[in-house]
Structure formats: structure tokens, C-alpha cells
Amino acid sequence: MPHANQPFSLAVGYQQPENGERFPAIVADYQPQVGEVYFAWVGTPSGRAILGAHDDDSNAVQDLLEEDLKALRQLGVKLDILFNANCYGAHAFSRDLENNIRSVMDYLGELGCPVDIITTTSPAIAHISKTHYPDVEVRASVNMRIGSTQAMGYVNELFDSFYLQRDRQRDLRYVAGVHQWCERHQKKLCLLANSGCLKYCPGQTFHDNFLAHIARVETMDNLPGWNPHVCWNLYRKPENYVEFLKATWIRPEDLHRYAGMVHTIKLATRQHSHPRMVIGAYAGQSFTGDLLTLTEPGFSSIFAPYYIDNQAFPPDWAERMAQCPENCDSCHYCQELLKRVLKNSNEGF
């Protein structure tokens, strides 16, 4: 059952599930916890694969998207459009970019689905929004990796809300300090709860860049037998499984610790194979099963037959992570904990 008196809003990523279930139906089952749905426009590069790029009929994809946006609007859910590609190339601050942004925004308004929020990685797009749509909230994407109030201050006039750099979000004392700054400056603080990405991943810039150009990347004669994802290469070796524990995800059971500090908690569900499961877990703040299946990206296939038993974590897990000194060479807490939470499915769940 959904958790009562939710102290923050959940933002979930739109998709068109392969099982035929309509996304608004999922959202409707978890209101009022789900307050926002974020989405990318058809054919528009973002921080994930392009919506409709692999469909034979992109018009049908757009028609379904429009129907779903109208249904979400009727539910009273805020709409957050993503212009969060990591690279816009020569169009980075061009008139063409401005015209493209305005054409999508104006079309959605005419459709009866005006957006409430623009999430972007681009100071130029933030400027465009502030200039032409002053009533729309402008949010700094998690991919900007804004991890300090100093950085927030530099772009204070461009953004109304900020996703905190996920590498810092387990430090509850630090989050509290950032929240205080946001309160003083009338800004909203947001977090991404279920990222499967490595902490301080050295491949993030590379990864985000090729996703921004994924339409062309997929047409190239690419390197055979090489995986461009640092995490997938790392987890091929079981001795690196412990790095999953050191990452940035937050367990559903620990969301309450952010009450009063965070306005919005984002769930990565745009490409997840089971969005209902993820939303249900975080809305209910409880999950029984393999923690690897909650994150995006998820690593259950590469860990198999092993899994991470979410119910095996000790009660003080979040407190320990909040005080993590990040001296892994001399601290072996995560390595010891892995022995407790890593289970073998061949031995029973």
C-alpha cells in the first residue's frame, strides 16, 4: 500500500511499456505520491535513448504520448519536459535551438498540455525558458552534477530547482546544509533515488555525450566486442560487486530520512522494464526482493545467479552511509556487508 502522508513528491519517468499497460494508469494508482512525470519529446535527444527512434511508426508513438500527457494532466500531475542532452553540438546556443524549444513548448500548450517544468543540462535552454516562459519552473538536471551551494549560486538566476549531484546525496548532514541554502534562496532541492550508476563514475561525461548523439552512434561501424559502459565492464568481475553498495542509490526504506529537506525525489523509470514495481516500492517505502532490479541501469543479469537481498540490510545502513569517510582502502564495512546481503538464487530466495 502507498505510504501515507508522503513528505515529498515523486517524479517518475514516462515510457510506453511493452506489456501494453498505459503509463497514466500506473501513475493513477500511486497518487498523490507521484506529483510529476518527466518526459522527452519524440525524436529529441536527452539523457536516454530517443523516444520513438526504434519504432516503425513514430507518428503512432507521438499520438500515444499526446494521449497520455492529456490523461496525466487530468490527474493533476505536473509535466516536466526534458531538454537534458549533454551536447547540442553547433546548435548549443543557436537561434535554431531556440526555435526548436519554442515550437515544442508552444505545441504542447496548444494541445492543452502546457508543461510546468523544464529540466535541462543547458544554461542556454534555461535562458530561453526564462525569456519566453517565465512562469515555467526551470530545473537543473542531475547530469549537470551540481554538488555544492557554490555551484548553485553561480546559476542562481537561471534555475528554480536543482537536482543535487547524486554522489553527495547519501550524506544526510550535507543534504541538510544544501537544503538550508535552497530555503534561503527560494529554490527547490531534488534527488534521484534509484540510479544504478557508479559513484563518481569516470565514464559519465563520455556516456552522456554519446547518448546525446545516439541516433548517429547507432549507424556507425562501432568497435566490435567492446562495451562503452564502465559499470558493465567493472561488474564482469565478481570481486567488484562491492562497488554497487558504494554507489548512490537510496533504498525505498530510507526515503523518509529526506523528509523536510527534499522537495522532489526522482525515480529513473524511462527505460526500466518494470516501472510499476519501482514506483510501487518507493511510494510504499518498502521492497522485498533483489535491489539490483530497482535501479536504472539494473545489473541483475550480470550478477546472476547472485542477487542483493534488500531486506538483509542492517537498520543502521543509512546512518553508516551518511557518515562514510570515503576511505575505502582502510575501511572494509561494505566488503563485510556484502557477505550479508549478497545471496545465491540457486540456494533459494
Of all residues in the chain, the percent with pLDDT exceeding 90 is 88
- The pLDDT of residue 44 is 82
Q: List pLDDT tens digits, range 193-241.
A: 999 999 999 999 999 999 999 888 999 999 999 999 999 999 999 999 9
pLDDT average, residue stretch 130-155: 98
Q: What is the DSSP string of 225-265?
A: T----HHHHHTTSGGGTHHHHTSS---GGGGGGGTTT-SEE
pLDDT of 4 over the 60 cut = no
Number of C-beta neighbours around residue 328 at 10 A: 14
Confidence band for 272, pLDDT divided at 50, 70 and 90: very high
**Distance separating alpha carbons of residues 85 and 56, to the nearest angstrom:** 23
Range of lowest pLDDT (39-48, 144-153, 292-301)? 39-48
pLDDT of 348 over the 70 cut = no
Confidence band for 18, pLDDT divided at 50, 70 and 90: confident
- The pLDDT of residue 5 is 44
Of 318, 294, 290, 288, nearest to 304 (Cα)? Answer: 290
> How is the chain split into domains, by residue range?
9-288
Domain 9-288: CATH class, spelled out:
alpha beta
- The pLDDT of residue 41 is 95
pLDDT average, residue stretch 317-325: 95
Of 145, 45, 138, 38, nearest to 88 (Cα)? Answer: 45
- The pLDDT of residue 106 is 98
pLDDT of 6 over the 90 cut = no
Q: In angstroms, how far is CA 210 from the centroid of its own chain?
A: 18
- The pLDDT of residue 57 is 65
Q: What CA–CA distances, in Å, run from 87 to 48, 124, 195, 214, 310?
A: 13, 12, 21, 11, 36
Helix H or strand E encompassing 105: helix 95-111
Confidence band for 24, pLDDT divided at 50, 70 and 90: very high
